[in-house]
Structure 1
């Protein structure tokens, strides 16, 4: 009988009333680990519009999620309040066997304190693109120094891509490292029967930021439309759609540009099953969930060669192109529309996804690390 450990998940990002989609991939990691161990997620965050501390609890089998909201003040006061609330909540439980930090800064300070005071070991899963040289975010010296202290005292660093691990190492964030990737819920993302679209559908879903280079996608799509290629571009997500609506007003291709807003995971899966190819023309990435979710639906992906994308991209699962190279994207989509490209079958693509990104697979990967530390 396998011993169930008590694992504390601490997250710098997590879905909450402040942001429904912030760190949803961390929630999926927590659900995975809860297949094997008792997992308690504690997430403390400031919130506008409240006058007192508010606490919410959610129990799903062996996963307990606690969200604590407190009134938003100034930055320094918020950090101190957050730290005290974390410790107060954690101290109300019997001792945890291990702490799993998700995104080093700032919640890693809580784990560092508990390691020094209560001798509880911790591991770090990292998702932040800010460590990548392509990300315009600049890490101040003091912040980087503090991150090094947190990483130095951890037992393992678990980036979601090899590329991210190398980027952290180049910044002096050095620790025993193993890549453990994002996870897919196959109850939601799975391959349906083949649908024959009369008009090919290209799909892009993201937060629609500079990172995702949606302008580049539109530029290429407009060029294809002007050259008389027939297709629909479906684009949307949990970002600012106003520039896209402005584009529709001034474009001759409004009926071929389909915009949509925030979708549930179930609705994302439906979109993926209705599409012919997913476009991911990012400027920088770690290991994007939409890539492996597309694979879970048997959907080929046309993606930039950035971050960890190519690390899990078998031949025939789509095509890797150079980031920001619109000519290359144009030629790739043109070849698809002219039926000059063959992809692997839906079943082959989905099987790869199940073997590498299922909740049980990722849970087992984490469990191996936990056992090394706790033996």
Structure 2
């Protein structure tokens, strides 16, 4: 790797870890897209989700293409909740401080810190800037800042978020909608950029083998696919199950395959049984699948469905487009930035409007499957690793150029 590339320290709030290899995988993909354009390293700290013998455990992967340090600290250091809350905050920053020292000695001094999801990460980067002068940029993904959730943000957190965003060299959001939501909360930065999520467009692609018999195409066209965490407040899978139950009498070949896991698993399976969808084979719950298996499901599906109450910029919709798969989704968050409404890419409906979802699915299922490349080509141009990586390279060049100019003027 060229020594002229900027050295960038990544501070993610979410990142794949020993407890969940999919946690923050969208952040991991952003960093992978950035890696050809920067000498990057990752410093990540999180609460241990199980017992561990020591207060803090440290795992380093220095041999990786992106050197990565992961810290795990106990969830209940003392067993006294009020004290543990404070101790966990101190442990978090202590882990980052320890990790920064190790990185500084072995990897070098960063020229830029890149925060992925606020707030503790941003406070750490701001503190480092005050101590060392190293600028930082922020990438934000979190649906916490969207209108349906913003009431959960306390005054102190809102004030700190606005201060950290203003102190950053730049703010990056993955959707224009999220940038507007942050602005409504007072979190504004004059250097503001929208760069989308990235997906593996080599993995998510149409099936290269053409479907010859027309009956196969008809069967594929009746296969719905839903991929999401089982979070009912956000994803409303129960609404989708009810719609499938209403469609089945006039579309007996219709099936729904559900990929996901989470706290509502038992509740949603019970609802599917109550609606008669399990015995008939109309609905299949596939549980947690890796990306390779999800890509295979998309190649076998006819329509992707995401009936969410709120979203930011869902990677699964991008993956569906890269796979040549039309979709029906809700007009929330950044979804209209991916799916304008009524074209080959699919349909938009209002959240919680089950009648509108039923009509949109009925309409889309009545049409021939679109040509996959018509959906895939624009997805590759916008969301592939090279396309997103180039945009981050331009962002870094602008930020570091401005920092150099400021330093020279002093």
Structure 1 residues 17 and 131: alpha-carbon distance in aligned structure 2, compared to 1, 3 A threshold? same
What SS is found at the alignment partner of 1:226?
A: coil
How far apart, CA to CA, are the structure 2 residues paired with 1:134 and 1:157? 22
Q: Report if the CA contact (8 A) 2:331-2:351 is conserved.
A: yes
In structure 1, the partner of 2:74 is 71
- 2:193 aligns with 178
> What displacement does 1:120 show?
0.6
Equivalent residues of 1:151, 1:157 under 8 A apart: yes
Corresponding residue of 2:292: 266
Partner of 1:190: 205
RMSD: 1.8
Does structure 1 residue 364 correspond to structure 2 residue 390?
Answer: yes
Alignment counterpart, residue 117 of structure 2, candidates 89, 92, 103: 103
Aligned to 1:13: 14
Deviation at 1:295, TM superposition (A): 0.7
Q: Aligned partners of 2:260, 2:316: CA distance in 1, in Å? A: 11
Higher mean alpha-carbon deviation, 104-113 vs 56-65, is at 56-65
Matched with 2:265 is: 241
Structure 2: how far apart are the matches of 1:304 and 1:3?
44
The match for 1:219 is 242
What is aligned with 1:148? Answer: 162
Taking the TM superposition and a 5 Å limit, the aligned residue runs for 1:1-375 are 3-47=4-48, 48-52=50-54, 53-58=56-61, 62-73=65-76, 74-92=84-102, 93=104, 94-135=108-149, 138-175=152-189, 176-193=191-208, 194-195=210-211, 196-197=216-217, 199=219, 200-209=222-231, 210-239=233-262, 240-254=264-278, 255-313=281-339, 315-337=343-365, 339=366, 341=367, 344-375=370-401
**Residues 162 and 185 in structure 2, CA contact (< 8 A), matched pair in contact too:** no
- Contact in 1 for aligned 2:112/2:134 (Cα 8 Å): yes
The offset of 1:60, in angstroms, is 6.5
Partners of 1:8 and 1:96 within 8 A in 2: yes
TM-score norm. by structure 2 comes to: 0.87
Report the secondary structure of 1:35's partner residue: helix
Which stretches in structure 2 are left out of the alignment for 5+ residues? 77-83, 402-410
User: For the residues of structure 2 that align with 1:304 and 1:192, how far apart are their CA atoms?
Assistant: 26
Stretches of 4+ moved more than 6 A in 1?
A: none
* 1:211-254 deviation line (CA, Å, top 9, x unaligned): 01111101111111134543101113132321232134333332
Count the aligned residue pairs.
373
- Structure whose CA Rg is larger: 2
Change (3 A) 1:69 1:2: closer
Report Cα offsets for 1:116-175 as digits up to 9, x if no partner: 001010110000111111237610001111111211110111011000000100110010
Instruction: State the 1:100 CA deviation.
Output: 0.5
* 2:139 match: secondary structure: strand
Unaligned ranges ≥5, structure 1: none
Cα 1:167/1:310, change in 2 over 3 Å: same
